[in-house]
C-alpha cells in the first residue's frame, strides 16, 4: 500500500464529505500515468483556503494569497489549491489577483502545459480536457491555449518547459517552441533565485543535453548572464555533472556576470575549483596542493579537468592523499603552543609563519613529523626571525 497516496485520498474524501469538489492534479497525475514515482501530491478543490483551514487540524498558510495552503497528515504534506482564475499579470510572473471559482475548467485553463492539466479522482478515474493524454503518448510539451499569452503571463514557464524536457525527454511542440524564441528576453525579468531553482532541475535531469540544446536553439542560453559558452560545452558532453559543477565549467569558460546568488559556501567552492583548475590543468597535483585543498575538492577539480579534455589524475591524487604525513595542522607533533612555551616569541603572525613553514616541510617530506626534529627546526627559525626583524616579543 502507498501510504502517501492513501493519506492524500483521505484529504480528498474529507473535502468531498464537506460538500466540496476535489481532485488530484499536476505532476503527480502526469508521473503516475508515465509510470514514474512522484514525491509530491497536489490537490485542487472548490473549497476556499479559509474552508480548508477550518476543515483540517494541521494546515500551513504557505500560499494563501494565491489560493494555496499545505495540509499536513502524519509525515506527509499536500498542497491544496482552490479552483481559480488569474487576474492580470503585471510582472511576467505573478497575477495581480486571483478569483476563486467552483468550476474546475477555470482552474485548468490557467495552468502551464497540457501534461500538467490532467485531473484524477480518489478512485483513480482520469479526466482529460486538453487532449493531455495524447501529448503524453506523443511525448510533447505544449502550452494550454495560446503559448505567447502563457509565457507573457509567467516567463518562468519557458524554463519549466526545458525542465520537463530534461526530466522526461519529451519534445517541445512547434508553436510552444516558437513562442519561447520570440519571448526569451522576458527571462531576464525573473528573479535570479527562481531561475537558479529551474536551472538546478534542468542540470540534474536524465535528458539534460536535450534540454540544453533546446535552450541553445532558442537562444535562451544567451539570456542567462554569461552562462552561454559553458552551457554550449556541457550540452555536448555525456559526463554526469552536479549543478554546481555545471556552473563551475561556465565560470571557467567565460566571464560570468555577477548576478548569480550562491551560498557563501558555494561561492568559495566555485572560486577554489576555478583557481585549482588553472594550476592543475597542465601540471600535476602535488602533496601540498592535495593537503591545502583536501581530497574532495581535488577530485572535483580533476573531474572538471577531465570533462574539459585534460589528463585524469585521480590515481595520483588518491595516492598523494593517502601518503600525507598529516591531514591537518593539529596533526603536527610540534605546534604553535610549543613555541609560546619554549620561547619569548609572542607575535602571533610570526608564530603562524613558523607553523606554516613546519607544515609545508612535513607535507613535502623535508622534515619528519617528530617532536624533536620539528622543535629543533622551529627554534632555529625563531632565532632567525628575531635577528632579522629585531625584537618580536609583545
The set of cell numbers assigned to 45 is: 478543490
310-340 tens-digit pLDDT: 999 999 999 999 999 999 999 999 999 999 9
CA distances from 336 to 94, 295, 323 (A): 58, 25, 24
Is 253 part of a structural domain of the chain?
Answer: no
Mean pLDDT, residues 229-239 taken together = 97
Lookup result for grid cell 514515482: 37
Statement to judge: residues 172 and 75 lie in one domain: no
Lowest mean pLDDT among 46-60, 113-127, 291-305, 373-387: 373-387
258 inside domain: no
Q: Please compute the mean of the pLDDT values over residues 240-248 and round it to a whole number.
A: 97
355 and 312 within one domain: no
Q: Are residues 223 and 122 in the same domain?
A: no
Higher pLDDT, 153 or 389: 153
* 84 and 43 within one domain: yes
For position 67, what pLDDT does the model report?
Answer: 86
Q: What pLDDT is stored for residue 275 in this prediction?
A: 98
- Same structural domain for residues 224 and 281? no
In the predicted model, what is the mean pLDDT of residues 193-203?
A: 97
Task: Please tell me whether residues 104 and 154 are part of one structural domain.
Answer: no
pLDDT of residue 88: 67
Work out the average pLDDT over 33-48: 93
Flag whether 216 is in a domain. yes
Tell me the pLDDT band of 344, cut-offs 50, 70 and 90.
Answer: confident
Domain boundaries, position 336: 331-389
Within this chain, do residues 202 and 91 fall inside the same structural domain, yes or no?
no
Please check whether residues 176 and 85 belong to one and the same domain.
no
What is the grid cell recorded at 353? 609563519
Domain boundary among 284, 302, 323: 323
In a domain, 348, yes or no: yes
**pLDDT given for residue 174 in this prediction:** 97
pLDDT at 90 over 80: no
Mean pLDDT of the chain: 93
Find the mean pLDDT for residues 53-82. Answer: 90
Measured from the Cβ of residue 394, the count of other Cβ atoms closer than 10 Å reads: 9
Q: Are 96 and 224 found together in one domain?
A: no
Residue 296 near residue 272, CB atoms below 8 Å: no
347 within domain boundaries? yes
Domain boundary among 138, 169, 192: 138
The answer as to whether 165 is a domain residue is yes
More confident position, 320 or 66: 320
pLDDT value, residue 63 = 78
Is 132 found in the same domain as 14? yes
Count of domains forming the chain: 4
pLDDT in tens, 207-233: 999 999 999 999 999 999 999 999 999
Q: Phi and psi at residue 89, in whole multiples of 5°?
A: -90, 120
The answer to the question of residue 257 being in a domain is no
Residue 394 lies inside a defined structural domain of this protein: no
d(CA 322, CA 327) in angstroms, rounded, equals 9
Which of 218, 237, 256 marks a domain boundary?
237
Looking at the structure, do residues 111 and 170 belong to the same domain, yes or no? no
Considering the domain architecture, whether residues 103 and 174 belong to the same structural domain is answered as no
Q: How confident is the model at residue 95 (pLDDT cuts 50, 70, 90)?
A: low
pLDDT higher than 60, residue 93: no
Three cell numbers written together for 102: 467552483
Amino acid at each position: 500500500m502507498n501510504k502517501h497516496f492513501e493519506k492524500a485520498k483521505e484529504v480528498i474524501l474529507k473535502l468531498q464529505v464537506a460538500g466540496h469538489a476535489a481532485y488530484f492534479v499536476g505532476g503527480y497525475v502526469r508521473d503516475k500515468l508515465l509510470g514514474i514515482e512522484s514525491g509530491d501530491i497536489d490537490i485542487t478543490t472548490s473549497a476556499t483556503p479559509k474552508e480548508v483551514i477550518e476543515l483540517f487540524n494541521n494546515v500551513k498558510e504557505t500560499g494563501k494569497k494565491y489560493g494555496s495552503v499545505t495540509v499536513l497528515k502524519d509525515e506527509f504534506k499536500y498542497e491544496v489549491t482552490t479552483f481559480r482564475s488569474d487576474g492580470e499579470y503585471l510582472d511576467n510572473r505573478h497575477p495581480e489577483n486571483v478569483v476563486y471559482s467552483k468550476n474546475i475548467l477555470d482552474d485548468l485553463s490557467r495552468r502551464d502545459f497540457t501534461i500538467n492539466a490532467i485531473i484524477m479522482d480518489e478512485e483513480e478515474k482520469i479526466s482529460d480536457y486538453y487532449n493531455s493524454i495524447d501529448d503524453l503518448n506523443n511525448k510533447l510539451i505544449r502550452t494550454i491555449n495560446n503559448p505567447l499569452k502563457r509565457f507573457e503571463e509567467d516567463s518562468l514557464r519557458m524554463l519549466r518547459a526545458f525542465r520537463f524536457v530534461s526530466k522526461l525527454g519529451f519534445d517541445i511542440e512547434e508553436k510552444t517552441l516558437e513562442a519561447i524564441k520570440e519571448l526569451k528576453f522576458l527571462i531576464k525579468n525573473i528573479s535570479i533565485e527562481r531561475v537558479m531553482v529551474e536551472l538546478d532541475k534542468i542540470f540534474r535531469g536524465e535528458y539534460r543535453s536535450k534540454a540544453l540544446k533546446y535552450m541553445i536553439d532558442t537562444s535562451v542560453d544567451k539570456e542567462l548572464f554569461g552562462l552561454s559558452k559553458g552551457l554550449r560545452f556541457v550540452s555536448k558532453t555525456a559526463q554526469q555533472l552536479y549543478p554546481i559543477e555545471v556552473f563551475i565549467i561556465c565560470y571557467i569558460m567565460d566571464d560570468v556576470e555577477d548576478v548569480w546568488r550562491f551560498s557563501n559556501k558555494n561561492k568559495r567552492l566555485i572560486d577554489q575549483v576555478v583557481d585549482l583548475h588553472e594550476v592543475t590543468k597542465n601540471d600535476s597535483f602535488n602533496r601540498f596542493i592535495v593537503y591545502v585543498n583536501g581530497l574532495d575538492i581535488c577530485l572535483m577539480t580533476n573531474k572538471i579537468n577531465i570533462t574539459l579534455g585534460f589528463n585524469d589524475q585521480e590515481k595520483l591524487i588518491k595516492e598523494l592523499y593517502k601518503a600525507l604525513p598529516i591531514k591537518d595542522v593539529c596533526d603536527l607533533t610540534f605546534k604553535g603552543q610549543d613555541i609560546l612555551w619554549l620561547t619569548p616569541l609572542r607575535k602571533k603572525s610570526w608564530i603562524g609563519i613558523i607553523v606554516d613553514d613546519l607544515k609545508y616541510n612535513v607535507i613535502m617530506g623535508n622534515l619528519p613529523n617528530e617532536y624533536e626534529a620539528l622543535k629543533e627546526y622551529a627554534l632555529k627559525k625563531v632565532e632567525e626571525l628575531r635577528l632579522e626583524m629585531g625584537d618580536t616579543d609583545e
